[in-house]
């Protein structure tokens, strides 16, 4: 991550984080293996039982407290040079106490990673009994909502990848009839991997017929029949950023009664919501734009979830596109627009694209056909 052309994107993000710490009156952020830790340091790891913490003080240089076995890995991935290592069998809280003294944090206000295990927050409390604690989202939520160019580039490519697989899967047509939802989901995941996806961004959804009416049904052993509407919601990570796209397709045969009208309604609602996106508009306004179309068509009670969610290093993050969220949209924010109508026992329809707010309006990150017919 070190280069000759000035600070890396990760280092710049850490500097912004430090400014925000000052603005909210906190003395440091203490991160744990998480998307926040990756965002600031460039180092990515799964949470584990060993103490692996990144201290980002309001001023000065950040420092890791890490197991010795991670020394080389952190050095390779991160711009952060100060790494305090402890070996299995040693007490890592001694390093934490030492660092707290150097950074003058003993009586400070520390923002801990929201997903830090209680094991470690408890430990911090015991090691630093005079400190007070808050959540790191207080600084990171705001920073991470506005994507930088590196992030937008990855999100665009993850969107294009989902689009490509969406087209390929719809070309199955008649071939999909008789496949189980699970077989179809495996096909989708295979194509995502072939196209260069790192891993699936969330459990792939292939909800056929009545299963499509359960918004978070994943997939099961139900066989796809002629005329079944199938909700296909999937994406894969590219450079750590996810794709998330939904189309509702009938692979072969005639759809059930009422389906075409519901599909048309959802498509119009999605279009209306996308057209409502521009800087300065509160997030809830996008939800209202979609909901109004669906309510006018008489399906208001069947649209049982918010219109969308922010997307970044986490597939679900701020801003949430939901009634009551008055966050004003700003250029660089990325979120899903995914209205749906769910008719219990019959079928569901959902159409989802990711969009990025631009100076004028928005750019869609997905552009595969939104029609329901097989391709
Ligand atoms: Co989504």
Residue 195 Cα to ligand 1 middle (Å): 20
| Domain assignments of the chain as residue spans, ordered by start | 7-144, 146-364
- Site of tokens 């390929």: 168
Q: Kindly report the average pLDDT of the chain as a whole number.
A: 96
| DSSP structure string for 160-186 | HHHHHHHHHHHTTGGGGTT-BHHHHHH
User: pLDDT value at position 324?
Assistant: 98
Residue 251 Cα to ligand 1 middle (Å): 22
pTM (two decimals):
0.93
Residue 191 Cα to ligand 1 middle (Å): 19
Residue 50 Cα to ligand 1 middle (Å): 33
CA triple 136-309-221, angle to 5 deg: 115
Q: Which two tokens mark 31?
A: 């991160």
Residue 343 Cα to ligand 1 middle (Å): 19
**CATH class, 7-144 region:** alpha beta
Which CATH number is associated with domain 146-364? 3.90.230.10
- Omega of the bond leading into 319 within 30 degrees of 0 (cis): yes
Residue 13 Cα to ligand 1 middle (Å): 26
Give, for 223, the enclosing helix (H) or strand (E): none
User: pLDDT value at position 3?
Assistant: 43
Residue 80 Cα to ligand 1 middle (Å): 33
The pLDDT tens digits for 313-354 are 999 999 999 999 999 999 999 999 999 999 999 999 999 999
Domains 7-144 and 146-364 share a fold: no
Residue 143 Cα to ligand 1 middle (Å): 21
Q: Which two tokens mark 111?
A: 């923002």
């Amino acid at each position: 991550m070190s280069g000759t052309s000035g600070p890396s994107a990760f280092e710049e993000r850490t500097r912004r984080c430090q400014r925000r710490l000052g603005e909210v009156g906190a003395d440091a952020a203490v991160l744990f293996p998480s998307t926040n830790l990756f965002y600031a340091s460039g180092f990515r790891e799964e949470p584990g039982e060993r103490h692996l913490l990144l201290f980002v003080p309001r001023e000065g240089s950040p420092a890791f407290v890490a197991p010795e076995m991670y020394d080389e890995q952190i050095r390779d991935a991160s711009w952060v040079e100060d790494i305090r290592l402890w070996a299995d069998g040693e007490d890592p809280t001694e390093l934490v106490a030492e660092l707290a003294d150097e950074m003058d944090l003993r009586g400070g206000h520390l923002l801990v990673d929201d997903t830090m295990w209680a094991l470690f927050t408890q430990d911090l409390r015991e090691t630093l009994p005079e400190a007070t604690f808050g959540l790191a989202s207080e600084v990171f939520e705001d920073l991470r909502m506005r994507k930088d160019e590196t992030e937008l580039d990855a999100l665009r490519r993850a969107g294009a990848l989902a689009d490509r697989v969406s087209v390929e899967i719809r070309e199955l047509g008649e071939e999909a009839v008789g496949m189980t939802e699970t077989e179809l989901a495996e096909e989708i995941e295979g194509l995502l991997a072939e196209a260069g996806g790192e891993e699936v961004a969330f459990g792939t959804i292939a909800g056929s017929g009545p299963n499509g009416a359960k918004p978070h049904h994943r997939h099961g052993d139900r066989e796809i029949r002629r005329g079944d509407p199938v909700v296909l919601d999937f994406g894969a990570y590219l450079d750590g950023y996810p794709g998330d796209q939904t189309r509702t397709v009938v692979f072969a045969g005639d759809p059930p009664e009422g389906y075409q009208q519901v599909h048309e309604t959802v498509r119009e609602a999605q279009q209306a919501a996308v057209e409502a996106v521009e800087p300065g508009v509160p997030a809830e306004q996008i939800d209202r734009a979609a909901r109004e179309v669906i309510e006018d068509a008489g399906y208001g009670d069947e649209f049982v979830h918010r219109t969308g969610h922010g997307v970044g290093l986490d597939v679900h993050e701020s801003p949430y596109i939901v009634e009551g969220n008055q966050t004003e949209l700003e250029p660089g924010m990325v979120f899903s627009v995914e209205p749906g109508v769910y008719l219990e026992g019959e079928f569901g329809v959902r159409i989802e694209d990711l969009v990025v707010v631009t100076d004028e309006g928005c750019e869609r990150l997905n552009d595969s056909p939104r029609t329901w017919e097989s391709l």
